[in-house]
Every structure is written in structure tokens, then in C-alpha cells.
Amino acid sequence: MYSFLSNPPRFLFFTGKGGVGKTSIACATAVHLADQGKRVLLVSTDPASNVGQVFDCAIGNAITPVPDVPGLCAMEIDPEAAAEAYRERIVGPVRGLLPEREIASITEQLSGSCTTEVASFDEFTALLTDEELIGDYDHVVFDTAPTGHTIRLLQLPGNWSDFLDAGKGDASCLGPLAGLDKQRSAYAGAVSALQDSSSTRLVLVARAQAGALDEIARTKSELDQIGIGSGCVVINAVLPDAAGDEPLAAAVRHREQGMLDNLPVSLASLPMDLISLKPINVMGLSALRALLDDDPQTSGQAVAAADEVADLPLASLINAIEAGGHGLVMCMGKGGVGKTTIASAIAIALAERGHPVHLTTTDPAAHLEQTLEGSVPHLRVTRIDPVQATREYRDHVMESKGAQLDDAGRANLAEDLRSPCTEEVAVFRQFSAVIREGRTGFVIVDTAPTGHTLLLLDAAGSYHRDMVRQMGKADGFRTPMMMLQDPELTKVILVTLPEQTPVLEASILKADLDRAGIHPWAWVVNASIQAAHPESAFLRLRAASETQPIRQVGALAPRMAVVPLQAHEPVGLPALRTLF
């Protein structure tokens, strides 16, 4: 029996970064409990949710019985629809009364991930507190949980509407809470339920990968601060012995074991379960029931599809980048997809062809020096320290805008400045100087501000005004935003993995950038088993499961590359050179 299934409480929350298998494990847990005769409600608040696909039935924003599983019902809270309803509730009354630019600013302030999460939390508050709604269920299983930041927002003192109406804050995160004071008591009840270990269990889901483990360690730290400490760890998709002993499988197994032997300290004391990687995608009831056993089966049926996608080398993108003679290349994507590796490989290739290259990162988890393990002529490596940049920005805002606020107002502003957007805004102020170097040489950036952050700055006009004030109105003046929107200067490369959730998350990022007038130039599908041409039947089945996600990328990308999963960690110059 897995630890996370032992004596399960009424509420189970599954959380972790995208692509680790939260939805599959949540669905399998719900089926397992229902098979034991329990009445179960499965709820998804994940923007990338595919609960309906997993069960092969239509599930929407209403409680729906799951066919062929007596006692199990499910619902998918549509976070985008919830966020849109919030935006309209706030923007609707002032539309036509305020200038269009002000409307655009308010709308963009309400377009971030925090707005979506708070709106979703508002939707499922009743699922934690309303006995009339959930009284018929023994267990409620949630696919994804609110972050500590969102819960702290809901606990803050003060009146959100008065704070915003008085112009006391930028409201990048507080915006969605405007006018919601009437629901504060319901929120308090929901937070209390989350903090009660006898009724709630938090399951932190990861893979045996550094990025995924760091993400759940950060989540645990955030939730510990607000008294939510009932946690279990599930490491999903661990390569089983059935994958064979070919060099690729042996190397992956060795790499995963190294991760498990060196877990973040905050996770080491928690109960931990390992779930084996399955050879095919977890879709349908039989696959869900098999997910929680360790008897992976292989079938030759899907093997023939494993090599359908043609080889698309990274070198083809590097050649196209070089043809421009100079420019800014931004590698973007969710954490753990290999942005640092791809950015480093592109920079090395261009430098070794004799071009001056500046490789820099804004990723707090990136370690370019360790990745390179050496120097290359013509290559300069730097790092923008997001911690320092954010600290300086927060101090500046608290000293300026916070100077005239009362204690409650300062608490509101301080929490707003803990938003994920704050770090991006702070880093962008330093990053803007790097952008201009792309006019004369190659600048390769590992991660960059999202389209939402850029629009937040641009809609308010603050950054543009600062630049004009500093540089005057000289002919040919261009703001960093204008340079990022110039396809002749800037090439955005979206990095993803050949799996459904990472591809969906990358497509959401693409839409975010498109709104900002920045259109991705290319996509890179990283760590593809299919492109590595494995030999064992198990790995060939896994390779076949990548075909559809890679095709989805092909439908979105003007150009793309597929990088094989490496037998050895792509660290050091020789290993990075093998990527191109």
C-alpha cells in the first residue's frame, strides 16, 4: 500500500509542476477509492487538465458521474472561464467611463497566473465548506492545489477595493480580490479546512528530476509558512527494470537514483512513494488501475509508430540564427524542460563559428558555469541575479509607494510584491540593457519575462516613460518592448518536452507572448526518447507515445527541432556539442 493512500482523509490535494503526472495520479486515486466502495468526487482546477481525456468522457464545470466507476463523480473547474468572469466583474462597471488605456492596464493586471488561481479558489471554496454540496461524498480529490501565495492573499487584512481604488498599489495580484470582501468568511473556512491535517492531505508529486523536486520543495516551504504541513511525496514515472539494460536505460536509471539519493532536505523527512513509469500513456480505466501497481506490460502494437516523426536537428535552427549575423535569442519555457541546456548549446555553436556571443540567464535555478564546465573563445557568460534585483525593486516600491500607507495597506502592498510577476518586472529592468547588445552581436538569454509581465509594464506605460525620461526623445528611440517585438532582432525559442502537459503549457505561453506582439520564432522539443532511437520494447513504446505531442508542436511552430534524450547528463562542452 502506498503511503499517500494509507487511511486517506476526506480531502486529498495533488500538486506539483506541470507534466509530472498529477492528473493521472489524482484520477487513479479517485478510481482506487471508488473501487473500495467509497463515494468520491474528483475536482480539477488545473489549466492544463485533461481529466475528461483520461476517462474518455465529457466532463465540464458540473458534477458528472464517471461511466463504469460506481460511486465516482468528477468536475473540471475551468480556470480561464473563472478568471474571465472575474475580469468582467471588475472591468465591466468602468468600461466606457475610463480611457481605453486605463481599461487596458486594469485588464492586463487581471491577466496573470495569480488572477486565474484566485478565481479558481473562489470556485472550489464551496467544495471545502458547503456540506449541502459535498455531504454525499466520503472523499474529495483535487487535481492541483492553491499555492501558499494565493492563500496568504486570502488571509491578508484590509479592504481590497479601498486599497485599489485609492491607487495605493500596482495590484498585479491583489486585482482579482477587488470587491470580494463579502466572501472572506467563506475563504477563512476553506483555509481552515486546508490546515486541518485530520481532514486534508497534501500530496506533492514530482519526477526524479532536479526541477520537479525543487518545485515541490518550494511548495512545501510556502505551505509550511501558513500551517499546511500534512504532506506526502510521490515520485512518479521512475524507470523500471522492464526498460532493459541498454545504455540509454541504464544511464537514465543511474541519473534518477542520484536524484533520489540527494533529495532536498525539506522533503527527506516526508513519507515517500515511488510509482513506475508505464510504457504507454495513462488513458482509460484499465490504465488508471494499472498505474498504481508495479507490473508494467508491453505490447508490440504501438512499437511501429515510434519512429514516425522525422529527425529535426538543433543544428538547423542554429544555422538559421547564424544567417542573421546578430540578434537576441530568448529560450523560454516552463521549469525543468531544459532551457539552460538548449541556450548553452546554441551559444557554444555560434561562438565556435567565430561569432561574439553573450550568454546570460535570468533563471534563479540556472547554473551556466556548471553546465558549461569550461570556456569557449568569443563566448561571454553572465547572470542576472533575480534575488538581488527583486530585493532592490521591493525596497524601492515599499520606500516610495508604501511610505504613506497604514499598517494594513503596507501588508497588502508587501504581499502584492511577493507575486511571481514582481520578480519578472525587477529582472526586466536589468535585462533591458542586455537586449540592446543584440544589435551588434549575438545575445542568448536563458529565460525571459513572459508576455503578461511585458504587457503589465507596457499597459501602465511606466517603463516606457522611464526610458523616455532617461534617454530623451531622440530620433530612432526604441523601448525594449519595441525591440522584443521586432522579428529582425529578436528570436524567441519555446522549449518543451514531448509530453501532453508540457506542450499544452508551452502553447499557453505562446498565446501569452502573442498578446504582447511577440511571436515565437521556433520550438525545441527536448529530451525525446523517440529521437534517441531506443532498442528495448519498453522504451520504444514510450517513444511511440511522443508522436502526438510532437505533431502538436509541429502544428504550432513555424520551425522546430527535436533533441534526443541523452544517455548522459548534457553537462560540459563535449556533451553539449553532441546536441548540435
CB contact set of 538 (below 8 Å; sequence gap of 6+): 240, 242, 243, 244, 249, 279, 296, 298
- Angle ∠(154,157,161) on CA atoms, nearest 5: 80
Q: Distance from first CA to last CA of the chain, Å, rounded?
A: 45
Cβ–Cβ < 8 Å for 29, 46: no
Farthest-apart Cα atoms in the chain, separation: 74
Residue 341: active-site member? no
DSSP conformation letters of 245-260? SSHHHHHHHHHHHHHH
According to DSSP, the residues that pair with 40 across neighbouring strands are: 72, 139
Catalytic residue among 15, 16, 17, 23: 23
Asked if 546 contacts 498 with a C-beta cutoff of 8 angstroms, the reply is: yes
Candidates 15, 17, 18, 21; catalytic one: 21
Catalytic residue check, 29: no
Active-site residue identified among 22, 220, 334, 401: 22
Active site residue 298: no
E-strand ranges in 304-375 read 327-332, 357-361
- The verdict on whether 181 is a catalytic residue reads no
CA distance 16 to 26: 12
Q: Which residue out of 44, 501, 528, 545 is catalytically annotated?
A: 501
From 15, 17, 18, 19, active-site residue? 19
**Cα–Cα distance measured from residue 563 to residue 308, given in angstroms and rounded to the nearest whole number:** 15
Active site (annotated) includes residue 169? no
CA–CA separation, 407 vs 410, rounded Å?
5
22 among known catalytic residues: yes
Q: Are 55 and 98 in contact (CB under 8 A)?
A: no
Residue 395's contacts (CB-CB under 8 Å, 6 or more residues apart) are none
Task: Please give the radius of gyration of the chain, using alpha carbons only, rounded to the nearest integer.
Answer: 24
* Residue 275, all three cell numbers: 510509482
Are 494 and 510 within 8 A, CB to CB? Answer: yes
Does the annotation count 501 as an active-site position? Answer: yes
Q: In this structure, are strands 231-238 and 272-276 parallel, antiparallel, or unpaired?
A: parallel
What is the rounded distance in angstroms from the CA atom of residue 288 to the CA atom of residue 540?
21
Give the containing element (helix H, strand E) for 381: strand 379-383
72-76, strands of its sheet edge to edge: 64-65, 72-76, 40-44, 139-143, 11-15, 200-207, 231-238, 272-276
Find cell 529530451 and name the residue: 527
Distance CA 448, CA 427 (A): 9
> Would you say 354 and 347 are in contact if contact means Cβ atoms under 8 Å apart?
no
Catalytic residue among 16, 46, 115, 230: 46
> Among candidates 162, 179, 187, 182, which has minimal Cα distance to 92?
179
Residue positions annotated with a catalytic role: 19, 21-24, 46, 501
